[in-house]
Structure 1
Amino acid sequence: MKLVVNNPNVDPKVIERAMDDLMMGEHRNDFLGIIGWLIKTGLNDKEARQNLINSLTSCITNRLWEGMIQVTIQELEGETEIKPTFQKELPALFPYIDFRVKSGAIEIWKTDYWFKATTKVAVNDLSVTMKDEEITAVKSGVMQAFLTLAYCGHDKETKDPSVLIEEKKVLDLKLPELVSFQ
């Protein structure tokens, strides 16, 4: 089975606000190096900060949505009886952003920023088609996801990450419009 997620229509504004708060809050010094490199490309401070916020938002949003949808479908396939309503706390996702500055083939500077995303997903009014114990189509269903997003800094395993978003509904999707199997 190959799962394809067709252009999730997710509004990244929640993530963008969290990234903006992160840049302006207690962790703003973590990002000064990257902003400095962006300024060297010809951007002013405000443009560099917005460019960084946009990059973080885009990367995190894409990784989270694809991860949540794929893991949810995999969890459903493991069920012996698929019910019309399904709720599950998914394993934590650790999206990260990897920044590298190179001059030709030489890496001048690199840094990683880790985030921890915990999600609770609910699928309601689910109807699927199965063949040989494998899901082959999703006929109906609405998927809702609630996200807690925390900033871990440079260490994925940090004991006390800074919570940016807590239990916020970030996804409300009609599965048949977005998920297909090939």
Structure 2
Amino acid sequence: MRYGRERKQATRRRIIETAGRRFKAGGIDGSGIATLMAAAGLTNGAFYAHFDSKDDLVAAAVADQLREQCEILGAAAPGRAGVEQILRVYLSVQHRDSPEYGCPSAALLDEIARCADATKRAYTGGVLAVIDDIAARLAPHDPQSARVQTFSIYALMVGTLQLSRALADQQLADGVLEQGIQSALTLLGAEDR
């Protein structure tokens, strides 16, 4: 039985979304095709109608997750107020405790570094879109001038979230999040002087 183009696109979309959440929750290496397809409510055989390989799916899922993150950032207030809003949401207990619904960088960065070039290219393009959104808030008339600073702030955010997730001491983990916010705001403030 042949399905229409719209149904095929919807199925592909479901696989990518499911894979994105599963990869962030259990890692790329911890999520096999059979597990991913079962979570999407599909058979293994359906996988190859949409993707050539798991690497192909990983690249698509990483790109999709970063696109979604960029869309979420786009809803923040304009200017520096929006950057502070982004910082506080990103470095929140809710984000830390729900990796499957959060940032792909914080959940997958170490694995992406070991992925095929297609995934690294998808990641680079996606993360540049995130960086450029934040940089445009910091310097609306010249976003390129804020790009390096934005990379530093983004790296601080990702590392802070990863460290907070790894700590067994809840109070310490919460303190790391708060200090990350304050450190990022200090970096932003230093640029104003």
**TM bucket normalised to smaller:** 0.3 to 0.5
Q: Which has the higher helix share?
A: 2
Structure with max Cα Rg? 1
Q: Which has the higher strand share?
A: 1
The alignment's TM-score, normalised by the length of structure 2, stands at 0.31
